[in-house]
Amino acid sequence: MRLFSTNARYWLRSLPRLIVLPILQAPEEALMGGQAVIEGVMMRSPHSYAVAVRQPGGTIAVAKDYLEKPSEKHPWLKYPLLRGLGTLGQAMVLGIRALRYSAEQAMEEPGKPAQAEKKVELSNWLLAANLALSLGFFVFFYKYVPLSLATLISRRYPAAGNLLIFNFLDGAIRILLFLGFLFFISQWKEIRRIFEYHGAEHKVVWAFEKRGAIDIETARGCTRFHPRCGTSFLLVVMAIAMVFYMFLPFRSFGMRFVGRLALLPVIAGVSYELIRYAAKSQGKLWRWAAQPGLWLQRVTTREPDDSQLETAIKAIDTAMELEKARGGELVVA
Tell me the per-residue pLDDT of 128-139, one tens digit each, with 9 for 90 and over. 676 677 788 888
Burial code of 143-176, b = ≥16 C-beta within 10 A, e = fewer? beebbebbbebbeeeeebeeeeebbbbbbebbbe
Mention every residue, 6+ apart, whose C-beta is less than 8 A from residue 87: 27, 28, 29, 69, 70, 272
- CB of 24 within 8 A of CB of 198? yes
Q: In this structure, is residue 226 part of a structural domain?
A: yes
Q: In this structure, is residue 331 part of a structural domain?
A: no
Q: In this structure, is residue 201 part of a structural domain?
A: yes
Q: In this structure, is residue 281 part of a structural domain?
A: yes
Q: How many CA atoms lie within 13 A of 233 on its CB side?
A: 24
- Does residue 289 register a pLDDT over 80? no
- CB of 27 within 8 A of CB of 94? no
Distance of alpha carbon 33 from alpha carbon 87, whole angstroms: 13
- DSSP 3-state assignment of 248? coil
Q: Which domain holds residue 232?
A: 2-326
Distance of alpha carbon 58 from alpha carbon 65, whole angstroms: 23
State the pLDDT confidence band at 41, using cuts at 50, 70 and 90. very high
Q: In this structure, is residue 333 part of a structural domain?
A: no
Summarised one tens digit per residue, pLDDT across range 75-107 is 887 778 888 788 888 887 788 788 888 877 876
**Rounded to the nearest 5 degrees, what angle is found at the Cα of 164, between the Cα atoms of 287 and 230?**
30
Closest to 231 (Cα-Cα) out of 143, 316, 304, 299: 299
Count how many domains the chain has: 1
- CB of 326 within 8 A of CB of 222? no
Q: In this structure, is residue 238 part of a structural domain?
A: yes
Q: In this structure, is residue 10 part of a structural domain?
A: yes
Alpha helix segments (H runs only) across 37-117: 70-73, 82-106
DSSP structural state of residue 11: H
State the pLDDT confidence band at 314, using cuts at 50, 70 and 90. very high
The two most distant CA atoms of the chain are separated, in Å, by: 66
Q: In this structure, is residue 332 part of a structural domain?
A: no
- What's the whole-model pTM score? 0.80
